[in-house]
Structure 1
Amino acid sequence: MSVSHRVRVDPQSLRLTKERGPHGATVSGCLPKCESAEPLVWRARRPVKRPGILYLTRTGLADPLGQSQVMSYLRGLSRNHDITLLTAEKIDDADDASHMAALRADCAAHGIDWRPQRFRAGRIGAARNFATMFKVAMRIMRQKPIALIHARSYIPAAIARALWRRTRVPFVFDMRALWLDEMIEAGRLTAGSPMERVLRRMERLCLRDAAGVVSLTDAAVSHLQGIYPSELIGQRIVVIPTCADLDRFPMRPPPDAPMVFGCVGSVTSGWFRLDWLDALFAAAASDDPTALFEVVTRDDSDVVRAGLPNVPTARLTIVSVPPEDVAARIAGHHASAMFYATGPARLGSSPTRLAEILATGRPVIANAGVGNVADIVTGHRVGVLMADCTMDAARAALSDLSALRHDPDLPDRARATAETLFSLEDGTRAYASLYDTILGSAS
């Protein structure tokens, strides 16, 4: 009988091990026309020293997330694979000529063929983004031998599946998170709507037809296997949590007084709980008249400030910095907060900033119900949990944090936790092993 397999990273042996899945036994529509009518030749089976990988992502390389969660892996993967990277860059980023030149130089230094496209917002823009990425990907597959397509998130996976149907080149569905559930919980997609039904069908088909699926958490895998038991029979599933280039986030001693509470990343996305952050900062401001607060984000500063009405304006800094300066900002905080909406969508979440904050030696203040964050925070004693968004709960969390910060081993323990759970080297090797497994079975 076929069995569904879940594959996890073993940090000690750096090998992939299989587990029996919980079930025992292991966008349809018109596609854009190709630019040329010449027949497409699948060149994946030609003997090449380094297999060609076409990496598709809607995350721009100029975006901080593109640097931490795309380029960081590709630098390592490019050692043994011929990487072609297709991204969607925001207009403001694409217009920054000096930054784009630096990114091109980085790619060239690692032998990565980067093909940036412009990202367009809105529903019409999304359709144009899809058509452009599909068309450019088809062109790339005519130009060079591609053995495997790596699709980061849902829309690239739909494009990769369309390419697979045309060429039979296998693809990896790198889910990252439960995106559709996130959209519903953020109010950006209506449950039961025609659009949700179309996207659910896309999710099901991509899970069924992918040569491999990557999830951030075990909880998300179990959730999906409950929804799509037949589609995931025999599917190759790998659990790779969010990893970080820990060398870019060295451990540093905490700054002198006054106390600085920080928060890093997007806070206006719809799934970040800005009301919790407001309660925490307000309670800290009330209890400590010298405390300062900093939000490091690319979000609109006026929108962020409006979402923190109870935080003294004179003590609140909202700043946007380039990715290379984020580590220094985290090092300037005594503790960092991260609060996310809970629900099915959060089962698949592994916040990127958690690894970076812990690597710097700082404790976190978080809420439960988000992936395995609560287990990490409490199990490794590297932070505290806030029960709800009331002032009483915020003061209780601040009291717990004060006690924790008196532990002299806290910085070293936070760093060790990051190295054990979020090593970029381990994550890169897990991706490489998945590539090798798929390419080996396809040859």
Structure 2
Amino acid sequence: MAKTLYLSLTGMTEPLGRSQVLEYLMDLSKENAIYLLSFERENDLKNVDEIQALIKDQNIQWHYLTYSNKYGVFSTLWQLVQAIRLGSKTIHEHSIDIVHARSMIPATIGLVLKKLYGVKLLFDIRGFAIDEKVDTGRLQRSSLLYKLLKRLDDHLYKVSDHIVTLTHTAKEILHQSLDIPKEKITVIPTCASKELFKLLNEDEKRVFKSTLGYAEKDKIVVHTGTVSGWYDFEAEVRLVKAMINQDEDVRFLVLNKNEHPFVEKILEKYSLERERVKVASCSFNEMYKYLNIADASLFFIKPSFSKQASAPTKFAENVVCRLPSVTNSGVGDMGFYLEQYKVGMAVDLDTLDANLEKVAADVIGLMKSGAVDEDDFS
């Protein structure tokens, strides 16, 4: 039985950590001993007991540090020291074989542990981290800091014993730009648990839809999660408005926790009829119900170089719930999946406004066609 120290900057008390880390580890712990070290956000610590209850009967030992960015780089350095100290203790006490590092900062911790104790390092990249900072304007490509971080990032790729990436596009980029052998890279797209993202029967869908105040004829376009940052929410709203102009039964459902004022501002900017829009929050455990009653999931992500290594979590969740995704090309392998498996449609954001009426009609047609057949989602 392999013993793995799993390092995650994403907290288990966050929906993303629950979906994209803990669900995997609970399955892997059936045949492996997992020692999990994560960074939890202070606002999410109220969920610690829930996570501890989930793993109580699993072969997982969980320790966490409270994430802080209060003092910028000094906070990061202090947390690195704490994590290296706790990781060292875990390796000593449990004879760890592998350090599985989820993203760049954990991989940096893993590199130190590898040099100190000779453990294997698995670098699980979640995107091109340094290039993401450039694309968002947080780092200048000409700066010394960028050059130093980029050198560290490239070094992590080269010295890791194996790399996991989310997309085939990223695998090819790493092979071409850094001469990383392809056999050293495994592609594992984001996934979703069928136990969490369940299918409702038609009666259950009808009841839940009615409970939310929808009529049976309403066609629901849903956006789940963040609306700012990488997301082009304004383009989504423009498309939904064009759809409503063509079909008065179209409804827009925005499920989001912390950005309601921003959502309301954009809805007002484009004069979207409020009686056709719901802005709400829901728990991670309830998300599947909303995906079951929706007719299309809409999310536009601003294309960039760094996004070639991204695989949206919500796409996997949509697939499990047989909900078609309407998203844009130029992000990871999305274009391939949408074309190959017929699980939605890809939109060109550069030409969206010029073809708004046609795209709106195409999405309405997709919604009217109903859920994609199970065979298409296999």
Letter in 1 for 2:137: G
Distance apart, 1:215 and its partner CA? 0.8
Task: Kindly indicate whether residue 64 of structure 2 is the aligned counterpart of residue 116 of structure 1.
Answer: yes
| 1:204 alignment partner in structure 2 | 154
Contact 1:387 1:393 in 2 (8 A): no
Give the aligned residue type for 1:111.
N
Q: Tell me the alpha carbon deviations over residues 26-64 of structure 1, each in whole angstroms, 9 at most, x when there is no partner.
A: xxxxxxxxxxxxxxxxxxxxxxxx221100001110111
RMSD between aligned alpha carbons?
2.1
Distance in 2 separating the partners of 1:393 and 1:144:
59
Which stretch shows the higher mean deviation, 196-205 or 65-74? 196-205
Query: TM-score normalised to the size of structure 1?
Result: 0.76
TM-score under structure 2 length normalisation: 0.89
Residue of 355, 359, 373 corresponding to 1:393: 355
Is the helix fraction higher in 1 or 2? 2
Larger mean Cα displacement after TM superposition, 192-201 or 308-317: 308-317
- State the partner residue of 2:280: 319
Which residue is equivalent to 1:102?
Answer: 50
Contact 2:8 2:106 in 1 (8 A): yes
Indicate if the aligned counterparts of 1:284 and 1:291 stay in contact, CA closer than 8 A: yes
Partners of 1:382 and 1:76 in 2: CA distance: 26
Give the counterpart letter for 2:117 in structure 1. Answer: T
How many residues were matched structurally? 361
> How many percent identity over aligned positions?
25
1:222-280: CA deviation from partner (whole Å, max 9, x where unpaired)? 11222212xx2586211111111123223345652222211112222x22122221212
Look up the match of 2:212.
Answer: none
Letter aligned with residue 130 of structure 1: L
CA drift of 1:314 comes to 4.2
Partners of 1:267 and 1:299 within 8 A in 2: no
Q: Gaps (5+ residues) in structure 1?
A: 1-49, 421-443
Partner Cα separation in structure 2 for residue 294 and residue 261 of structure 1: 6
Distance 1:235 1:359, change over 3 A: closer
Between the aligned partners of 1:381 and 1:177, the Cα distance in structure 2 is 25
Query: Match of 1:77?
Result: 28
| Residue equivalent to 1:14 | none
- The alpha-carbon distance between structure 1 residues 204 and 247, as it changes in their structure 2 partners (threshold 3 A), is same
Q: Quick one: distance in 2 between partners of 1:338 and 1:61? A: 24
Select which of 44, 48, 52 maps to 1:93: 44
Output the amino acid matched with 1:89.
E
2:222 matched residue in structure 1: 262
- 2:151 aligns to what SS in structure 1? helix
Unaligned segments of structure 2, at least 5 residues: 210-215
Secondary structure of 1:257's partner?
coil
Deviates further, 279-288 or 50-59? 279-288
- 1:92-241 → structure 2 map (5 Å cutoff): 92-94=43-45, 96=46, 99-121=47-69, 123=72, 124-229=74-179, 232-233=180-181, 236-241=184-189
Alpha-carbon separation, structure 1, partners of 2:121 and 2:318: 33
Contact 1:260–1:333 (CA under 8 A) maintained in structure 2: yes
Shift of 1:203: 0.9
Alignment partner, residue 8 of structure 2: 57
Match of 1:411 among 366, 372, 375: 372
Runs of 4 or more above 6 Å deviation:
none
Secondary structure at the aligned position of 2:349 is classed as: coil
- Preserved contact between residue 386 and residue 394 of structure 1 (Cα < 8 Å): no
Q: Residue 128 of structure 1 aligns to a residue in which SS?
A: helix
Q: Bigger relative contact order, structure 1 or 2, given CA contacts below 8 A and separation 6+?
A: 1
CA distance in 1, matches of 2:254, 2:77: 33
Aligned to 1:380: 341
Query: Residues 177 and 345 of structure 1 are in contact (CA less than 8 Å); yes or no, is this contact kept in structure 2?
Result: yes
CA contact (8 A) 2:240 2:360 kept: no
Give distance in 2, aligned partners of 1:76 and 1:321: 26
Equivalent of residue 339 in structure 1, options 287, 295, 300: 300
Aligned CA distance change for structure 1 residues 405 and 277 (closer, same or farther; 3 Å): closer
SS in 2 for 1:85: strand
For the residue of structure 2 that corresponds to 1:248, the secondary structure is coil
Once the two structures are superposed, the pairs formed by residues 292-303 of structure 1 within 5 Å of their partners are: 292-303=251-262
Cα deviation, residue 163, structure 1: 1.0
Q: Which residue of 1 aligns with 2:213?
A: none
Q: Which moves more between the two structures, 147-156 or 240-249?
A: 240-249
Q: Which one-letter code corresponds to 2:232 in the other structure?
A: R
Q: Is the 8 A contact 2:325 2:344 kept in 1?
A: yes
CA distance in 2, matches of 1:125, 1:209: 26
Amino acid at match of 1:306: K
